[in-house]
Every structure is written in C-alpha cells, then in structure tokens.
C-alpha cells in the first residue's frame, strides 16, 4: 500500500489516511489525524471566545423551553430534578469540545449543542436522563423510545462504517 508524507506532522501514513479531494480527484496532503486535531484546536479556541453570559443565556433558554414542554416550572426542574445552571453550562462547554454521542460527528459550533431528554416517559433527572447532543440528532430523535433510538444509531453507525471501507471492483475486502 503506497504511503504519503503528511505536510503537517511530517509522518508517513498509508494513502487511505488522507481524505479524498473532489476538486482534483486526488487526496489531501494533510492526514486525517492532523485535520481532526486542527478542528479540535479551532473548537477549543472558539469555545473560549464565547462569553460566560452567552452560555448562561443559552442554557437558561434551554431550561425554559424544556420546562414549557414538560409543563413544569423552571424552579421545579432545578429543585426536584437537579437542573443547575452552572453545572449545565460546564457540561455544555465540555460537550462542545467532544463529538455528539449519537452520531459521533463534531459539533459545528456552540449553537449546535442541544439538551436531549433520553427517555421522555421517565422523570427528567439531569444526571441520569439527559444528554448533550447535536441539534440534528435531537430533532431526529424527538420522543423516540431509547431502545428504538439505539437501534437506529447502531444501523446508522454500521452504514457509515461500510461506506468508509475501501472497495476493489465493487467488492468489500478485508
């Protein structure tokens, strides 16, 4: 298998470690690991540029919208279910630096971080029944029961894995 030297890290990697470019039909000159590291570094820098006030405003809105949907007061979410603004801000900031736990894709920016209530039929305890996910996954999931959503995520992940596997004359090989 031919190798290529990454212009960023300087290491030689197999050609499949370089994403395809659609402009010239070739491959990038920067390996996938360096592209991912650069993306993470950019997200970390961007997360620091967003003020604490902006985060608090965003999370306060999340709390109000969920309280309305659940027909509960924000104060009840805080007192009975552990929805603490400071903790939620910290968790949302941390989520931005990782990938969505459902689709495993990086968040686009801080507006893409959304709070999902995992099981809509159970009590909305913050520690056990909520998860920070991307807006796209949260919209797709809506009120889908956890076992059904888990099956959908597994099928989606399998599909992505199969698409990434190299092919030879249309046949998948190992």
pLDDT digits (tens, 9 = 90+) for 35-82: 877 877 776 666 567 889 999 999 999 999 999 999 999 999 999 999
Question: Per the domain annotation, does 155 fall within a domain?
Answer: yes
Q: Same structural domain for residues 5 and 68?
A: no
Residues 73 and 158 in one domain: yes
* Structural domain span for residue 16: 1-49
What is the pTM for the complete model shown? 0.67
CB 20 within 8 A of CB 35: no
Same-domain pairing of 1 and 78: no
In whole angstroms, give the CA distance from residue 174 to residue 163: 14
Query: DSSP 3-state helix, strand, coil percentages of the chain (rounded to 5)?
Result: 55, 15, 35
Task: Identify whether residues 27 and 106 lie together within a single domain.
Answer: no
Distances (CA, A) of 71 to 13, 33, 67, 85, 92: 55, 45, 6, 19, 23
pLDDT tens-digit readout, 134-150: 999 999 999 899 999 99
Q: Are residues 65 and 77 in the same domain?
A: yes
Domain boundary, last residue among 28, 49, 70: 49
Split into its structural domains, the chain has a count of 2
């Amino acid at each position: 298998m031919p190798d290529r030297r990454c212009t960023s890290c300087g290491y030689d990697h197999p050609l499949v470690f370089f994403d395809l470019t659609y402009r010239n039909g070739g491959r990038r000159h920067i390996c996938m690991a360096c592209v991912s590291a650069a993306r993470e570094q950019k997200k970390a820098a961007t997360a620091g540029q967003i003020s604490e006030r902006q985060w608090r405003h965003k999370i306060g809105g999340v709390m109000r919208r969920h309280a309305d949907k659940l027909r509960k007061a924000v104060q009840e979410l805080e007192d009975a279910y552990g929805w603490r603004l400071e903790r939620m801000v910290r968790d949302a900031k941390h989520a931005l630096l990782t990938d969505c736990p459902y689709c495993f894709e990086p968040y686009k920016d801080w507006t893409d971080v959304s709070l999902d209530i995992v099981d809509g039929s159970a009590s909305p305890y913050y520690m056990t029944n909520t998860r920070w996910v991307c807006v796209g996954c949260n919209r797709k999931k809506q009120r889908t029961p956890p076992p059904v959503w888990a099956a959908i995520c597994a099928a989606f992940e399998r599909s992505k894995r199969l698409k990434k596997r190299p092919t030879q004359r249309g046949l998948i090989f190992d």
